[in-house]
Amino acid sequence: MKAGIIGTGHYAPEKVLTNADMEKIVDTSDEWIRTRTGIEERRIAHDNEDTSDMAFKAAEQALEEAEITGEDLDLILVATVTPDQPFPTVSCKLQERLGATKAAAMDISAACAGFMYGVITAKQFIETGAYQHVLIIGADKLSKITDWTDRNTCVLFGDGAGAAVMGPVSEDKGVLSFELGADGSGGKHLEQNDDYIFMNGREVFKFAVRQMPESSVHVVEKAGYAKEDVDYLIPHQANIRIMEAARQRLGIEEDRMAVNVNKYGNTSAASIPIALSEGVKNDKIKDNDLVVLVGFGGGLTWGAVALKWGK
């Protein structure tokens, strides 16, 4: 039995904060932000729009694309570091709102790599035959833990949610290989201190430019393919320079990498599933494509997956 992605969805709040807006908040410039990160604007959730509200909208779209309803779900996994509250979890809130009466529900905390941890957790349940349909959502409202006086971090982040439904697929499709990892010794470089995000950008950058290319190559090789066989690369959208390092290491052309960091900034756990959902909707991802998802984040954590697209 193989586990694959059979539906995707995404949601980003309406309110746009451009680099010009950021210039009015902290001592920064559009030029600095664009050249150092690739970000042009980000979306910010309304005060009364919380992580579960964004997650719900992305989830509804993914269920529709998968042609199932909440009642068909066996498990809901929500990757987030900004839940509405510690408990009840975001996944439990969705269990109710989606009418997922037979689903178990839990949140996963692995920062920006959370969606990758979710996909691999879902794969185990599906491939053992324990569960049929698992909904995985990456959703974060980083704006509520952003220090809006710290130019080192506040220009980087945005809010949003992305979702995927996983289920059994045919033998030649679905997840082919994966890699998950953690290095707690690097946790101090990216953490929530008191109320806000603290980041040692240079250290995280060094880790990421090494990890993303390495993990991408590992999963492709583990799947029995060559680097140039990759049809579509979906890296965590943190910084275009880090993403480019992964693309160049695989040696694939520019149009084979998902880029939306310019529109949304770094949306944490939501970044990979938003890019995945957009790739499906824009026909960038087609049946039988070899797709690589790769992410890294606070913890430190990382994860990568190689999969053959389709049911």
Of residues 46 and 210, the one with the C-beta less far from ligand UT7 = 210
Query: What residues have CB less than 8 Å from 197, skipping those under 6 apart?
Result: 142, 145, 146, 147, 153, 157, 190, 191
Q: Which stretch binds ligand UT7 (CB under 6 A): 3-11, 30-38, 64-72, 254-262?
A: 30-38
Which residues carry out catalysis? Answer: 112, 236, 266
Query: Mask 237-266, x = binds ligand UT7 (CB under 6 A)?
Result: -xx--------------------------x
User: Please, which residue, 98 or 197, has the CB nearer to ligand UT7?
Assistant: 197
- Judged by CB under 6 A, the stretch of 9-17, 47-55, 56-64, 195-203 that binds ligand UT7 is 195-203
Report whether 118 contacts 108 (CB < 8 A): yes
* Cβ within 8 Å of residue 29, ≥6 positions away: 19, 23
Is 212 an interacting residue with respect to ligand UT7 (CB under 6 A)?
no
With respect to ligand UT7, which residue has the nearer C-beta, 7 or 160? 160
Q: Find the binding residues for ligand UT7 in span 148-187 (CB under 6 A).
A: 151-152, 155
Minimum CB distance to ligand UT7 smaller for 70 or for 138: 138
Q: For ligand UT7, which residue of 32, 196, 198, 225 counts as binding (CB under 6 A)?
A: 32
Rounded to an integer, what distance in angstroms lies between the CA atom of residue 14 and that of residue 24? 20
Closest approach, Cβ 18 to ligand UT7, in A, equals 14
Of how many residues is the chain composed? 311
Find the binder of ligand UT7 among 14, 171, 202, 282 (CB under 6 A).
Answer: 202
Query: According to the binding rule CB under 6 A, does residue 136 interact with ligand UT7?
Result: no
DSSP the chain: -EEEEEEEEEE--S-EEEHHHHHHHSS--HHHHHHHH---EEE---TT--HHHHHHHHHHHHHHHHT--GGG-SEEEEE-SS-SSSSS-HHHHHHHHTT-TT-EEEEE--GGGHHHHHHHHHHHHHHTTS-S-EEEEEEEEGGGG--TT-HHHHTTB-EEEEEEEEEEE-TTSEEEEEEEEE-GGGGGGEEEETTEEEE-HHHHHHHHHHHHHHHHHHHHHHTT--GGG--EEEE-SS-HHHHHHHHHHHT--GGGB---HHHH-B-GGGHHHHHHHHHHHTT-S-TT-EEEEEEEETTTEEEEEEEE---
Which residue of the chain is nearest ligand UT7 when measured via CB?
201
For ligand UT7, which is the closer residue by CB, 76 or 190?
A: 190
Q: Which of residues 266-285 bind ligand UT7 (CB under 6 A)?
A: 266
The least distance separating ligand UT7 from the CB of residue 163, rounded to whole angstroms, comes to 19
Q: If binding is defined by CB under 6 A, does position 69 make contact with ligand UT7?
A: no
Interface with ligand UT7, residue 196, by CB under 6 A: no
Q: Do the Cβ atoms of 297 and 111 come closer than 8 Å?
A: yes
Please list every residue from 70 through 99 that binds ligand UT7, using CB under 6 A: none
Which one among 2, 34, 36, 97 touches ligand UT7, defined by CB under 6 A?
36
Instruction: Give the pair of three-digit tokens for residue 135.
Output: 């909904």
301 binds ligand UT7 (CB under 6 A): no
- Is residue 204 near ligand UT7 by the rule CB under 6 A? yes
| Contact call for residue 109 and ligand UT7 (CB under 6 A) | no
Footprint on this chain of ligand UT7 (rule: CB under 6 A): 28, 32, 36-37, 112, 151-152, 155, 190, 199, 201-202, 204-205, 208, 238-239, 266, 297
